[in-house]
């Protein structure tokens, strides 16, 4: 070959891809077990774990198997666990009372996990009402059936206190109510929980990919969440939510879902000086598992590729239902 095209043949990027060792050396993004956080569901009143059909491999834990899952995650090197409570159906009501009961399933689970792993694993809790309301919304409703922002904030303040009393390290308000981070910060500080952190669900989109989560927490949502979660079409709105959450005292911020919102994740990561998390949600998990079960994609490669992409986009922490499995492989 004698002709030069641009800088070729002098420039041959393929040289750095020739061997696995070479590719490993020049890799710009490396996943580490400590990047990973395991979301886990615990169901009240069951003596064996209940499989979640839309999330093969994920279960609603019993109190006992949750403790085991926490230990397994810790041993694999995962850095945290995000707990979701699933109360008995009979305990759901319009106000989500079970969410603020000191003996509600989430509070019990926080105490269980804390007794098992102490401070070695970071214990986080979902701070939201949808797992506990009979209508399935993330807040309480007004007389017209709309989610009442400010009345919901009062419930969130109570939730923050009972979760912190139970020993949680980080609360994760996921309801997208205006002012939630500030109200929760105040509630924590006024009850002696200055050291409990807030992981703000900053950019949380109204996503079809939450579908399997409804089964996971046994929620039958009436209507949709579009008056409080963000429109997938918007970017600027996320930057506004980000500024508000930081001003209200967020210690960490999160983007959710992950894969369809990597542009948002990259922008948020660029803009802040606090840790940034991304949540690879139930539908993202289900998509990969379903395609793999059909033999359409290579499961393990697809999992690693999605997680690498999320980290490359700027996430310091990734919530993923594959956390323990992946941490073991790393
Ligand atoms: C709200 C909450 C949801 C998820 C986490 N917290 C559901 C929703 O907003 O509709 C979704 C997580 C997932 O889909 O994996 N409590």
Note the pLDDT tens digit of each residue in 44-56: 999 999 999 999 9
Note the pLDDT tens digit of each residue in 157-202: 999 999 999 999 999 999 999 999 999 999 999 999 999 999 999 9
In a domain, 83, yes or no: yes
Is position 68 annotated as part of the catalytic site? Answer: no
In a domain, 2, yes or no: no
In a domain, 18, yes or no: no
Kindly provide the ipTM of the predicted complex, given to two decimals: 0.97
Residue 266 confidence (pLDDT)? 98
Query: pTM for the full model?
Result: 0.97
Please report, rounded to a whole number, the percentage of residues in the chain having pLDDT higher than 70. Answer: 100
Note the pLDDT tens digit of each residue in 253-270: 999 999 999 999 999 999
Residue 301 confidence (pLDDT)? 98
324 in contact with ligand 1, CB cutoff 6 A: no
CATH of the domain at 267: 3.20.20.70
Residue 128 has pLDDT above 90, yes or no: yes
Residue 1 confidence (pLDDT)? 58
Nearest-atom index, ligand 1, CA of 281: 15
Nearest-atom index, ligand 1, CA of 211: 14
Q: What is the distance between the terminal CA atoms of the chain, rounded to a whole angstrom?
A: 43
Q: Which of 174, 223, 256 to mutate to test the pocket of ligand 1 (most atoms within 8 A of CB)?
A: 174
Segment 120-128 shows an average pLDDT of: 98
In a domain, 13, yes or no: no
Q: Maximum CA pair distance of the chain?
A: 80
**Mean pLDDT in the chain?**
97
In a domain, 7, yes or no: no
Note the pLDDT tens digit of each residue in 69-98: 999 999 999 999 999 999 999 999 999 999
Number of domains in the chain: 1
In a domain, 217, yes or no: yes
Q: Which domain holds residue 35?
A: 30-329
């Amino acid at each position: 070959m004698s002709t030069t095209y641009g800088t070729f043949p002098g420039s041959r990027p393929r040289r750095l891809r020739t061997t696995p060792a070479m590719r490993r050396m020049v890799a710009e993004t490396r996943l580490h077990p400590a990047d990973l956080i395991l979301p886990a569901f615990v169901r009240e009143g069951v003596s064996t774990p209940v499989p979640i059909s839309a999330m093969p491999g994920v279960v609603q834990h019993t109190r006992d198997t949750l403790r085991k899952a926490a230990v397994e995650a810790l041993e694999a090197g995962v850095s945290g666990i995000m707990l979701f409570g699933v109360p008995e159906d009979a305990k759901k009501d319009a106000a989500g009372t079970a969410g603020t009961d000191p003996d509600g399933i989430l509070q019990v689970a926080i105490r269980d996990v804390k007794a098992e792993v102490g401070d070695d694993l970071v214990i986080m809790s979902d701070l939201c009402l949808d797992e506990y309301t009979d209508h399935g919304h993330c807040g309480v409703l007004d007389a017209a059936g709309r989610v009442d922002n400010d009345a919901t904030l009062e419930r969130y303040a109570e939730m923050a206190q009972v979760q912190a009393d139970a020993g949680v390290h980080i609360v994760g308000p996921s309801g997208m109510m205006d002012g939630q981070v500030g109200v929760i910060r105040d509630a924590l500080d006024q009850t002696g929980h200055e050291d409990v952190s807030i992981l703000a669900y900053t950019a949380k989109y109204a996503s079809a990919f939450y579908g399997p989560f409804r089964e996971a927490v046994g929620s039958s949502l009436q209507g949709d969440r579009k008056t409080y979660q963000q429109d997938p079409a918007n970017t600027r709105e996320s930057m506004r939510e980000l500024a508000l959450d930081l001003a209200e005292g967020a210690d960490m911020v999160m983007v959710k879902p992950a894969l369809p919102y990597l542009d948002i994740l990259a922008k948020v990561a660029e803009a802040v000086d606090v840790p940034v998390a991304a949540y690879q949600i139930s539908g993202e998990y289900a998509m990969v598992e379903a395609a793999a079960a059909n033999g359409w994609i290579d499961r393990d490669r697809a999992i690693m590729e999605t997680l690498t992409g999320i980290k490359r986009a700027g996430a310091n922490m990734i919530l993923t239902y594959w956390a323990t499995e992946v941490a073991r492989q790393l």
